[in-house]
């Protein structure tokens, strides 16, 4: 029996900063960000959006299309948690009107959390194929202003319904994982911005790709040529090209031509290039991008994925796109959302960045900004209050 992604949707805030504007302010050649790092825009969440609203906004089209019945598991992956006790999954459970017979849990391992949630959900569905699982991954990537990580910020969420006999993608059972205890990127509980050793983190991403790939290749007997496209975790899109070179070297095969590399990698990078890093949502935002932007039909084609979470966890896995998937994707919704975003000036970006969540326990009402169907309406007595827009 096939288990996998029945429906998948992604959501990103309605505001962005163009990285050429940031480059000018930081006195950097814009080509460094656009070509060297491979990013053009970064999504900026206004004060009335947080991981709960981003995830609920991503999930609403999925639950409206599939129906709520039978969703017995809700896993929420994030490293931008809003509460140390209550799972963000429960806020979404309420907003989405899911059935009470549903396990709701939040889980974390940096950017790898979304993949962990997907694999755990698939295992739970395999054990009980009549159950459906909703996997949410949402994050807001923040680094200090003026730091080298700043141009790799972003925000977004992915929602995936995991079922037996899925309509979009069947997951292959074989995977390759690699774990190592390192400090390449971390965010202590008292900080809103991450610390990162950027060069070391990039090196560890590329280093751990190889044992993860080798374990996957040994388990599955597949080679690179068995994959029609590759979707990598994308803290910045240039890393997909670096990863492909590494894999070719590890396999002892010649690197593809520039045209072939663009064919293999390009469609999965289109959305990430204009949203920035979405941490736990990133690799499956790449899947949305691929499904929405591949020029050829993907029916029956195998996709390879590499997920990396700092700290660090790495996993290589794959899936086969289901025949007829095009009738079940949210391409028009994704396009309209991305085309209707508002560009921020540098000053507006800095004002939003410096806006701190009120911590005094008072009654705070948040002005409505543009965004998806749910918003954070305010905070009163340290409790977040969400509402439909």
Q: Are 384 and 91 in contact (CB under 8 A)?
A: yes
Q: In this chain, which stretch among 34-42, 50-58, 97-105, 215-223 interacts with ligand HMG, using CB under 6 A?
A: 34-42
Q: Are 320 and 14 in contact (CB under 8 A)?
A: no
Q: Are 168 and 329 in contact (CB under 8 A)?
A: yes
**Residue 307 makes contact with ligand HMG by CB under 6 A:** no
How is 52-87 classified by DSSP, letter by letter?
HHHHHHHHHHHHHHH-STTEEEEEEE-SS-S-SSS-
Q: In this chain, which stretch among 26-34, 95-103, 115-123, 165-173 interacts with ligand HMG, using CB under 6 A?
A: 26-34
**Residue 81 makes contact with ligand HMG by CB under 6 A:** no
Residue 111 among the catalytic residues: yes
Q: In this chain, which stretch among 1-9, 175-183, 197-205, 223-231 interacts with ligand HMG, using CB under 6 A?
A: 197-205
CB of 291 to ligand HMG, least distance (A): 22
CB of 366 to ligand HMG, least distance (A): 27
Q: Which residues does residue 287 pair with via DSSP β-bridges, in sequence order? A: none
Residue 233 among the catalytic residues: yes
**Residue 111 makes contact with ligand HMG by CB under 6 A:** yes
Burial class for 100, CB neighbours closer than 10 Å (0-12, 13-18, 19+): exposed
Of residues 214 and 242, the one with the C-beta less far from ligand HMG = 242
Beta strands in the chain (DSSP E): 3-11, 15-18, 41-43, 71-77, 103-107, 132-141, 154-164, 169-171, 176-179, 185-186, 195-196, 229-232, 302-309, 313-321, 342-343, 363-365, 374-380, 383-388
Q: Specify the DSSP class assigned to residue 101.
A: S
79, 109, 150, 285: the active-site residue: 79
CB of 30 to ligand HMG, least distance (A): 8
Of residues 77 and 171, the one with the C-beta less far from ligand HMG = 77
Q: Which residues are catalytic?
A: 79, 111, 233
Binding residues for ligand HMG (CB under 6 A): 29, 31-32, 35-37, 79, 110-111, 148-149, 151-152, 185, 196, 198-199, 201-202, 205, 233, 235-236, 277, 279, 308-310
């Amino acid at each position: 029996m096939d288990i996998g992604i029945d429906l998948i949707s992604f959501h990103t805030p309605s505001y962005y900063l163009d990285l050429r504007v940031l480059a000018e302010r930081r006195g950097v050649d814009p080509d460094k960000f656009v070509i060297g790092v491979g990013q053009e825009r970064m999504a900026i969440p206004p004060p009335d959006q947080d991981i709960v609203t981003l995830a609920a906004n991503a999930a609403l089209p999925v639950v409206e299309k599939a129906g709520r019945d039978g969703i017995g598991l809700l896993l929420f992956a994030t490293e931008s948690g809003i509460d140390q006790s209550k799972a963000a999954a429960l806020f979404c459970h309420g907003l989405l009107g899911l059935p009470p017979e549903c396990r709701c849990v939040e889980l974390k391992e940096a950017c790898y959390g979304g993949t962990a949630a997907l694999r755990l959900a698939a295992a739970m569905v395999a054990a009980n194929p009549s159950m459906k699982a909703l996997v949410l991954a949402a994050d807001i990537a923040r680094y200090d202003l003026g730091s080298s990580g700043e141009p790799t910020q972003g925000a977004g969420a992915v929602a995936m319904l995991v079922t037996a006999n899925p309509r979009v993608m069947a997951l292959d059972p074989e995977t390759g994982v690699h774990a190592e205890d390192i400090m390449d990127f971390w965010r202590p509980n008292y900080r809103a911005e991450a610390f990162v050793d950027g060069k070391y983190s990039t090196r560890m991403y590329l280093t751990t790709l190889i044992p993860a790939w080798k374990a996957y290749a040994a388990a599955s007997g597949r080679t690179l040529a068995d994959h029609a496209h590759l979707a990598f975790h994308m803290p910045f899109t240039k890393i997909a090209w670096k990863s492909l070179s590494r894999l070719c070297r590890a396999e002892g095969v010649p690197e593809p031509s520039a045209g072939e590399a663009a064919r293999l990698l390009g469609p999965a990078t289109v959305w990430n290039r204009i949203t920035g890093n979405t941490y736990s949502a990133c690799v499956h935002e790449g899947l949305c991008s691929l499904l929405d932007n591949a020029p050829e039909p993907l029916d029956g084609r195998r996709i390879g994925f590499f997920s990396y979470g700092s700290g660090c966890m790495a996993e290589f896995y794959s899936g086969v796109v289901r025949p007829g998937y095009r009738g079940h994707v949210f391409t028009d919704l994704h396009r309209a959302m991305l085309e209707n975003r508002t560009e921020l000036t540098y000053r507006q970006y800095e004002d939003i960045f410096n806006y701190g969540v009120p911590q005094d326990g008072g009654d705070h009402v948040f002005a409505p900004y543009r965004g998806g169907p749910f918003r954070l309406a305010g905070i009163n007595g340290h409790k977040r209050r969400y509402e439909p827009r």
